[in-house]
Structure 1
């Protein structure tokens, strides 16, 4: 098994509850996620009701459809998604994009974004390439989150 882990941190100029709500609103991703620089094309929640632990979703990406679920849900400070890719009925890649949010005042949130990716089978040899893609994708995501609140990314 190949394993990739990394963490990014960004300051978002918005209250922690607002940042959490934006991240948890899977159906709202199309409004703030970038159309360029990302492999994600569309996201939709596939269970009814408000987002919660166990909520399922489907991301449509350049690599095809990727199902997932919310695996941790602790408003307004912790949110973890779990997605997977299968081939021949076996999981060949799965990831856990995680967010830990820290209030730094009434209108500022420090976003700690931890990403973990595991590869198996035919995906194992391309783990270094997938790491590069994951860092790029996750960086694009946190910078889009920043920009969605009206502020340019801090680097």
Structure 2
């Protein structure tokens, strides 16, 4: 009987290991085309509640400062709410061409853990309703499931209402 292959550790996984934070790895072998809602497809494939599966978006303020926003994969970021929660005048999404240079992660694999440098982070307040949430593991098709309170504490995040609605 063949043994199941373990996924190669990502920077996010190594940081969680060092901090002693428990997580569960979910690998998705299917299509990883990020242009068509990768996070939502991954939630559907795994049978997880889409409200418990979070995507990570990186924003930039007029000052050039960056803010990381984590929100459910099926929701849209409200830039005005996020700016207010971050204490910024306004925010806009970081251009895709700048994402990897800013964070160290590619689109579809961005996670608030283990970025090139720490940024202020906001997590949609509904994350607190779940014992565990899913986030990217630092690579397309790789997800991590962990306690949202431990995640927030580890990355220094604040919970806030940041989705449209």
Please, what TM-score do these two structures have when normalized by structure 2? Answer: 0.28
Structure with the larger RCO, 1 or 2 (CA within 8 Å, 6+ apart): 1
Please, what TM-score do these two structures have when normalized by structure 1? Answer: 0.29
